[in-house]
Amino acid sequence: MTRLLAASIALLLLAGCGDDVADPASPEGAGRWQHCTVQGLASAGGLAVYGDDLIAVAGGDDREVYVIPQEGLTAGEPARARTLAVDISPKRPLMGAEKLALQGYEMQHLWKQKVDFQGAAVQAPDFLYVADRERRVIYWGRLVKDAAGRLARVKFSGLTVAPGADRSKVAEGDWRDYGSGIAGLLALKGRRRMEDLFVLERAPTGGPALRVYRMDRYGSPLGTIPIKTDLGSKMQCNGLSWDGTRYVLHHGAGRGALVSFKEPEPMRSVTLGPGTPGPEVEGVTSWAGMTHAEDGTLYLISAGSPAVLAWRRP
């Protein structure tokens, strides 16, 4: 009897302080994966949905923003990406809550340096966010259409430092991020008038927990979502999205795995389970961005050259 009582008390304590367990992101009835190559885009680094179009960015010091129409995507037939004209606000100062924001940098200074765009997000009606992994900053601005209603350009009007950087070489005048880097970016309507940004780490740093940093457009920190995993430093994330009710995360090489989770209660974390396999595409060793369309279609884009776009309809 005493042994049974002790076991019951232990279970109650665990229930009060345990973690939320992530679920496989593969609802029953989901369609099969389809894929195609994307001409005109190499080594993608981020993906987002804007109306009937997909917005993509690429790593490797590529400052272009690409558009891929969703309409007409056909498995096995190449899609074509076109570039938007990109304007910046050169004198706009860098904002944020970290010391980098106090160094007097303007957008023109950082735009001239090497960039590595790894993460893109869109918030209605027309705001685009792009994360630069090199210095862990986020460029943001508006997508602009031409007179015919076709996307024509993006005007970056703001620049913000993202939290979580490892700036271990500041003493040498080097403000780059030497941590695991940014793997994904998500923008969701927050409790206030503006949207909240979610910045996904590529791998756990300084412990077993992966982190999703939450911030506003101007760099004010709004908390973190700790994500526990048994993989430790082997954990490699590739993208973060929102399916309308839950966060969806993709991690791992090759097909990798998809898991979904709700935002945990305060003082709790999320524990990743095994998940469900992502798309299997010959020649693709790593996915580099993911997003959900309004109709529930899940898209992933690869880091290879040419890029490969995979999708699964609900």
Domain ranges within the chain, ordered by starting residue: 32-312
Residues 6+ apart with CB under 8 A from 186: 121, 197, 198, 200, 240, 241, 242, 247
3-state secondary structure of 3: helix
What pTM value is reported for the model? 0.90
Query: From first to last of its 314 residues, what are the pLDDT tens digits of the chain?
Result: 444 434 333 333 333 345 666 666 654 446 799 999 999 998 899 999 999 999 999 988 999 999 999 999 999 999 999 999 999 999 999 999 999 999 999 999 999 999 999 999 999 899 999 999 999 999 999 999 999 999 999 999 999 999 999 999 999 999 999 999 999 999 998 766 678 999 999 998 767 788 999 999 999 999 999 998 887 667 899 999 999 999 999 999 999 999 999 988 887 899 988 889 999 999 999 999 999 999 999 999 999 889 999 999 98
Beta strands in 15-107 (DSSP E): 20-21, 23-24, 34-39, 44-50, 53-58, 65-69, 79-80, 82-83, 85-88
Geometric angle at alpha carbon 186, from 97 and 212, rounded to 5°: 60
Which CATH code is given to the segment(s) 32-312?
2.120.10
Helix (H) or strand (E) holding 31: none
Give the per-residue pLDDT at 92.
98
* 111 vs 117: CA distance, rounded Å: 12
* Euclidean distance between CA atoms 312 and 298, whole angstroms: 5
Q: How far apart are CA 257 and CA 180, in angstroms?
A: 19
- Residue 118 one-letter amino acid: Q
d(CA 210, CA 231): 10
